[in-house]
Copies of this chain bind each other. A is one copy, B any other.
Amino acid sequence: MDEDVLGVDVGGTAIKTWWHGGAGPTVPTPKGDPTGERTADLLAGLAAGFPGVAAIGVATPGIVDDEAGVTRMSVNLGWQEVPVRDLLESRTGVPVALTHDVRAGAVAERLTGAGAGRPGALVFAPVGTGLALAVVDADARPIGTGWAGEVGQLRFGPGPHRGLRVEEVASAGGLALRYGAPEAAPVLAAMQAGDAVAAERWRETVDALAEVLAWTIALIAPGTVAVGGGLARAGDALLDPLRAALAERLAGFPEPVVVPAAHGTAAAAIGAAHLADVRRRSR
């Protein structure tokens, strides 16, 4: 990747930047900006602070139409149909790439993170407040757009969780809520202290994640599954039972390596920078 591309991750509370292979400034996200104009002004100002920016990659949460360069809907940002690419290209004069923050994270994990040096496609599973997945092919091209990867919004079919949204079980936020804790870490601590209810909730979360990932692996046959987000901080307490549950489901299938994501909260800004580079070269 060339060094003169700026990566930007527009989150609900903060905007993170990536420049010249390292983290740039983090600034608060403008509040009450339904048109996205103020956010675009801010991003243009940030870009002006980096000498020689040749392209900008932007990642946002929500439903993002990568081809059109439009964030169709984002609850976190209060956006509907915000044409991020046009707003920012008109202000800066440089090519802008827009994508979903999880897809951007997958690109980063594929190229320079958990997937670096491994063959094949990569699935990025940030298990946090909610759950969305992203898939990139062996060349780090994102697969799907719009609603693609919003598996957390799916509802469980017949079984113990019937009717629940998937992320109500298969996320750190869902785990905490079902146990009655403010976040997932105390549930892990309680389980490790011998609390049987915590252990049961933990097992349900791991099983639900294995369910999501098993179908994804069977459809895509990736080489790597990179698990990130808050729940990944549990390390082997999450990954060991997850790998065991996957092995049961995937018997006979070539199993991907299931590893922690490498880029942490910088993943989306890093991946956005990569995609900006791709977009610039294609023009």
Contact = CB atoms under 8 A, between A and B. Distances in A.
Interface of A: 121, 133, 135, 137, 143-151, 153-160, 163, 166, 207, 210-212, 214-216, 218-221, 245, 248-254
Contacts of A210: 157
A214 B153 CA distance: 11
Contacts of A156: 249
A135 B214 CA distance: 17
Contact of A215 (B212, B221, B252, B253): B212
A214 B248 contact: no
Interface centre among A150, A153, A219, A221 (most CB of B within 10 A): A219
Nearest to A163: B248
Nearest to A246: B157
Nearest to A154: B218
How many copies altogether? Answer: 2
Contacts of A216: 215, 219
Given A143-B143, A144-B121, A215-B215, A154 B221 contact: no
B252 A135 contact: no
Given A155-B249, A157-B248, A250-B155, A148 B221 contact: yes
B214 A144 contact: no
Contacts of A249: 154-157
Contacts of A148: 219-221
Contacts of A150: 218, 221, 253
Contacts of A248: 155, 157, 163
Given A215-B215, A253-B154, A220 B144 contact: yes
Nearest to A203: B158
Contacts of A146: 221, 254
B211 A133 contact: no
A95 B207 CA distance: 46
Q: Which of A137, A147, A251 has the most CB of B within 10 A?
A: A147
A79 B207 CA distance: 36
Contacts of A220: 143-144, 148, 219
A57 to B, nearest CB: 21
Contacts of A254: 146-147
